[in-house]
Amino acid sequence: MENLLYRRKILFYSILAGVICLGVLAFLFWDNLVQVLDFFRQHQAKKDQFRDWINSFGVWSPLVFIVTQVGQVVFSPIPGELTGFLGGYIYGVWLATFYSTIGLSLGSYLAFAIARWLGRPFVEKLVSRMILEKFDFLVRNKGAWFAFIFFSIPGFPKDFMCYLLGLSPLRTQSFLFVATVGRIPGTLVLGLQGANLYNERYGLFIVLFVGILILGALTGYYKESIRKWLRGKVDKAVSE
């Protein structure tokens, strides 16, 4: 108990120190911040050109974006956060969320099906040993609830998780529900940030960005504790 209170105090003072440091840096480098805002304004002047280029694919434009989302799950050539953000920038928050959800769900299912078809030897070549060792307990349980928690928490390797869950006894229908619904909150936020930047809502963009950073810091701090807690729950469910 004392150790937990001590860790919470450390976390609180770390966040407080970070906020103070950001305030000091903003005061000292105000001119640089102004230059950054000018860069955004200049960048915004070209936003229609960028959107027009994507829309030059015509009716196939959404399909191109969806296929990109599928590819980033299966092959992970580019970060999923970037594609989700660009979706909001191009299509707006709601269409971006809709298209991203389709692409991410299809990509998740393909990764799941490939792992189930080719088996563990293939997954071991694709997923790092560290991730396998940390999350291997998921393949011993068919409970969708545990997988859903992982998909809902930012910072966990969701794309690799699709391959791992393909080795588990989890039903395909349950996996599709987990992979689709669990990703929606993060997808929605990324689309909203892209839309905020396109519509020049810089204040809301910065507020949400800071919120994402704080949430990411909290997730990173407690990620291992959450993983161990869930592992204990899974081990208990398996033993029963």
Write down the pTM of the prediction: 0.70
The percent of the chain in helix, strand and coil, each rounded to the nearest 5, is 85, 0, 15
Positions of E strands within the chain? none
Own/partner pairs, 75-83, CB within 8 angstroms, 24+ separation: 76/159, 80/104, 80/158, 80/159, 81/190
Per-residue pLDDT of the chain (240 residues; tens, 9 = 90+): 555 565 556 656 566 666 676 666 556 556 655 565 565 555 555 556 657 777 788 888 888 888 888 888 888 655 667 778 888 888 889 999 999 999 999 999 999 999 889 888 888 888 777 777 777 776 666 666 777 777 777 666 778 888 888 888 888 888 888 889 888 888 898 889 888 887 878 778 787 877 777 776 776 676 677 677 766 766 665 555
Q: Are the C-beta atoms of 163 and 108 separated by less than 8 Å? A: no
